[in-house]
Amino acid sequence: MATILDSLVGSCAKKLQDMISEEAILLLGVREELMELKRTMNQIQCFLNDAEKRRIEAAVNNWLSELKDAIYEADDIIDLARLEGNKLLADRPSSSRSSASFKGSSFCSCLPNIRIRHKIAVQIRTSTLNLRRFQSLVKDS
């Protein structure tokens, strides 16, 4: 199982690396949170190599199973961040449009975007903390 997780974590880390500099992510405002998630995934990938050597222990197998769920959750959050960032990018007035049309938009029209940004940032932070919990379990053992 550790080999499969290693591949999954590597895939998520690559996906994060590719999307961190995308304009949609910059617009969403969660770049730093995604960078922290990527660092955590890279560290977990190192620990998975050690876990593969110790997989005969029942506790390690339970840990790997729970970690797999956490990685899938993080992968879903990465996809959500990309999706919502692209939506914000599509809704953003282009530079070719007149600035008067943007000035006419109300402050209230920005509130849903703030709510989406906050929701995704909280999900990323929660996922990162969850993954760090696994990381600390490995360090303590």
Residue at 82 is within a domain: yes
Neighbours of 7 (CB within 10 A): 12
The answer to whether residues 133 and 43 touch, using CB atoms and an 8 Å cutoff, is no
pLDDT for 55 equals: 59
Yes or no: say if 126 and 80 are a contact pair by the CB < 8 Å rule: no
The mean pLDDT of the chain is 78
Q: Residue 4 and residue 42: Cα distance in Å, rounded?
A: 15
- pLDDT tens digit string along 23-63? 888 878 888 888 899 888 888 888 777 766 665 566 677 77
Give start and end residues of each alpha helix (H) in 1-141.
2-19, 23-28, 31-53, 58-91, 99-103, 111-140
Torsion, Cα of 6, 128, 27, 19 (10° steps): -10
99 belongs to a structural domain: no
* Closest to 24 in 3D by CA, of 89, 71, 70, 81: 89
96 pLDDT band, cuts 50/70/90, is very low
Domain presence at residue 97: no
Q: Which domain holds residue 9?
A: 2-89+107-140
Instruction: Give me Rg for the CA atoms of the chain.
Output: 19
If you average pLDDT over residues 94-119, what whole number do you get? Answer: 59
Q: Answer whether residue 78 is part of any domain.
A: yes
Grade residue 122 by pLDDT with cuts at 50, 70 and 90.
very high
Number of domains forming the structure of the chain: 1
98 in any annotated domain? no
Domain-located, residue 100: no
User: Which pLDDT score, from 0 to 100, does residue 111 have?
Assistant: 61
